[in-house]
Amino acid sequence: MNELSRISPVQPAAYNLNQTGDKNINIFNHADGVINLISPSPLQVSEQNTEQLIAIQNFSKEYYQLIVTTTEDIFTSNELIIPVDQALTPSHAPSEIYDRCAALSEAGIEELKTFPALICNENTEYHGVTDAKQRAIYGYIKRIKKEGRNIKISFCPLAVFSQQKLCENPASIYFDLNMGCALTDLNRSAWSVHKVNLFKAFDVINLSNMPRP
């Protein structure tokens, strides 16, 4: 009598998918008929509270501020330190902003708080290249205090995105960044103000869903 061999069920092949785009959607059909839709987010955007919504509505569409710092724990402390000689110097701000804000008078600080902020650690490499895992913070300034030869800044993050986006063309042009040299604007600790509509610049690098007024 012939015997039927006991056959183990065929194991499905391992499922592996790499997607590099910002707006990919993965449709995966399980054997049980369940379909999963997976749409990875290109950035992390937090839900805003009342204080944050007010700050966003008051954002300037004419200027934004860029703070590049060596402070390592900016993602956990929401604070950073900039040396006085690297903050809002004549080469780091339009003349009208330098005149009104560089001395950090009460009125100057209040105006600076209306400028949306990009906060970054220094690039990990030169010539407009940084680690693919490095992130930049988009947010607003809450407190500015001069302490001796340093300025301590507290901020509120609104979103986090890939810092490499700021290094690539045409982003560097629209964000008014000097990226065409070894030591770029993202390689040197500094606090600067740029006469740029940040939200139009975000649109250029496909970050249109950033919180905005």
Element holding 190 (H helix, E strand) = strand 190-194
Q: What is the distance between the alpha carbons of residues 128 and 172, in angstroms, rounded to a whole number? A: 9
In a domain, 69, yes or no: yes
Q: What is the mean pLDDT of the chain?
A: 84
Helices (H) and strands (E) in the chain, counts: 7, 9
In a domain, 8, yes or no: no
Strand partners, 125: none
In a domain, 7, yes or no: no
Strand partners, 161: 136
Q: Residue 21 pLDDT > 80, yes or no? A: no
Q: In angstroms, how far is CA 33 from the centroid of its own chain?
A: 39
Q: Residue 134 pLDDT > 90, yes or no? A: yes
Task: Work out the pLDDT band at 170, boundaries 50, 70, 90.
Answer: confident
Task: Say if residues 53 and 131 touch (Cβ distance below 8 Å).
Answer: no
Mean pLDDT within 178-188: 93
In a domain, 115, yes or no: yes
Q: Residue 20 pLDDT > 70, yes or no? A: no
Q: What is the distance between the alpha carbons of residues 174 and 47, in angstroms, rounded to a whole number? A: 27
Q: In angstroms, how far is CA 88 from the centroid of its own chain?
A: 20
The pLDDT score that the predictor gives to residue 44 is 63
Q: Residue 34 pLDDT > 90, yes or no? A: no
Domain of residue 101: give its range.
Answer: 44-204
In a domain, 33, yes or no: no
Percent of the chain having pLDDT more than 90?
A: 73
Domain count, the chain: 1
Give me the DSSP letters along 50-67.
Answer: HHHHHHHHT--SS-EEEE
Task: Work out the pLDDT band at 9, boundaries 50, 70, 90.
Answer: very low
The pLDDT score that the predictor gives to residue 16 is 43
pTM: 0.79
In a domain, 179, yes or no: yes
Q: What is the distance between the alpha carbons of residues 165 and 6, in angstroms, rounded to a whole number? A: 56
How does pLDDT run across 57-101, given as a tens digit for each residue? Answer: 999 999 999 999 999 999 999 999 999 999 999 999 999 999 999
Residue 40: is the preceding peptide bond cis (ω within 30°)? no
Residues in Cβ contact with 117 at an 8 Å cutoff, skipping those fewer than 6 apart: 64, 65, 66, 67, 137, 138, 139, 140, 141, 155
The pLDDT score that the predictor gives to residue 45 is 67
- List the Cα angle 126/131/136 in 5-degree steps: 100
In a domain, 16, yes or no: no
Q: Residue 212 pLDDT > 80, yes or no? A: yes
In a domain, 121, yes or no: yes
Task: Name the residue type at position 162.
Answer: S
Residues in Cβ contact with 28 at an 8 Å cutoff, skipping those fewer than 6 apart: 15, 35, 36, 38
Name the residue with higher pLDDT: 25 or 116: 116
